[in-house]
Amino acid sequence: MKAGFIGVGNMGNPMAANMIKAGHQLTVHDLRRESATNLLEMGAAWADTPAGCVAGNDAVFTSLPVPRDVEAVALGENGIMSAANAGDVYVDLSTNSPTTIRRLHGEFAARGVTVLDAPVSGGVYGAAAGTLAVMVGGDRATFDSVKPMLDAIGAHVVYCGDIGAGMVTKICNNLLSMGIGVLMAEALTLGVKAGVSLDTLADVIANSSGGNRRLVEKFPRYLFSGNFEPGFATALAAKDVRLATDLGREYGIPMELSNLVDQRHVEALLRGWGPEDSDAVARLQEEKSGVQLRFDGMGGAGT
């Protein structure tokens, strides 16, 4: 199949690469052409504008940081809308506001263009491995038509319902992930401060009722090893948590605990940790407790 792909940064680049590896033909665009160097070497074509990614393709995809970026690419000068015609398909892989994507869906529908929301989860390593979870909302027949391309980037591609349902699902997932991260930092610093080694705590919790994927898969790659190079940046995590609390206010849902998680991420941003991996938020708890959550090799303890 043929596709346009706009936004080939930390997440978009490996997703686009996996599409090419699966045999799909891509036309790509990014604010920085050098971000697409490897994709062009793999055979992708370059477009100077988002509009240039539309014509002749079965679908155009966006993978962008925040909702305002999606709106600018979709509706701005030389954006997707300026080149789209009836029958075209636009798929947003970003984590966006459900309200925003539903509004974009309505504007594009007026021109006969179908919009799907398809946010992804699994981080940069999942994007590279092609093992992302992909949560899709919108027209079911259109989902079926583009699924071969989504299968190239994800191992778990799920149709979630009407337009916006993918975004809602992703926001709920990320709220839990970030909230679990905050709570685990508190629990682990407590355990270490009270005399149990971090490796023992991590092993037992991972195999008990408190076990979760963030502890087993993410903390070892980032927090426990002191690696804060972004797999999923703190700024993006903060954005997703705020999308969740905003959605709660929109629907009148009490979000007391979520608001605490939101404030913890705001504090991390104020520290200047936005570009670092989202595990950096745990450093706030480390500072307050006087405990550093690191393994010393394979058998070390928190210090």
Q: Is 147 a catalytic residue?
A: no
Q: Which of 21, 147, 170, 239 is catalytic?
A: 170
The rounded distance, in Å, linking the Cα atoms of 172 and 110 is: 30
Which residues are annotated as catalytic? 170
